[in-house]
Amino acid sequence: MAVNRSREEWKVYGNVFDKFTLNILRKLSAQGYFEELESALAMGKEANVFTATTKTSKRVIVKIYRLENCNFNKMLTYLKQDSRFLSMRRSKREVVFNWVQREYRNLLLARESIKVPTPIAFKYNVLVMEMIGNIAPELKNKIPKNPENFLEEILKNIKLLWDKGLVHGDLSAFNILNNKDHPVFIDFSQATITKSYDAKDLLARDLKNINNFFKKAGISFDVEKEFNKIVKQLPK
């Protein structure tokens, strides 16, 4: 695996390659999920994202969460509200490990209704996923040719997610990909089940974020009306 040969080089990418993480990457590589880390795609507040080669012509995404310098308190706040993780231990590492598992499980659930990166495998603080297109750009970097249709598809996807029992919770032009003028939602670690007490607040925030972005393209929608339609609160 390439990371074995160039640990010092990779340190510039947020210092995620501690000894523990290197061992996890080696194990996932040995199990055939990828061959070599290729390049850094994004450096986030809590995780770095890399492209990776495989034995086939396909490439995959490898997302590595840091074991230090994460916002553990924020992660724990979300996890405590999720009935799937009530019995977890609350050490810092366990919080990160459950956070990664949560994103994996959220992606599995979301893909039953909408287009998202297919999760392939996870182990501790590392998540391997499908690459969308030839690195599809984020919506903020590529406005669709038909913004009205794109927005309509986003709103449809938000409702499909809600009907499936999930709200993204952090939706914006940063975590929607423009894949050949069709939206693909990414970054599901903050996604929350609709049974959570703050699910509706998160839904409202997602809608406001999307509306604010598309206003810049000259189109908008009634956030309250869309919210009511999604949660099925329209007056009879």
Q: Residue ranges of the alpha helices (H) in 59-139?
A: 72-80, 92-110
Contact present, 54 and 130 (Cβ < 8 Å): no
DSSP tag of 140: G
CA distance 217 to 231: 27
3-state secondary structure of 222: coil
CA distance 119 to 44: 19
How is residue 213 written in tokens? Answer: 């972005």
Q: Is 198 a catalytic residue?
A: no
Distances (CA, A) of 85 to 71, 160, 167, 199: 18, 24, 17, 16
Active-site residue (options: 18, 82, 163, 187):
187
Active-site residue (options: 18, 82, 163, 170):
170
Q: Is 187 a catalytic residue?
A: yes
Amino acid (one-letter) located at 19:
K
At CA 156, angle to CA 151 and CA 158, rounded to 5? 95
Instruction: Show which residues are catalytic.
Output: 170, 187
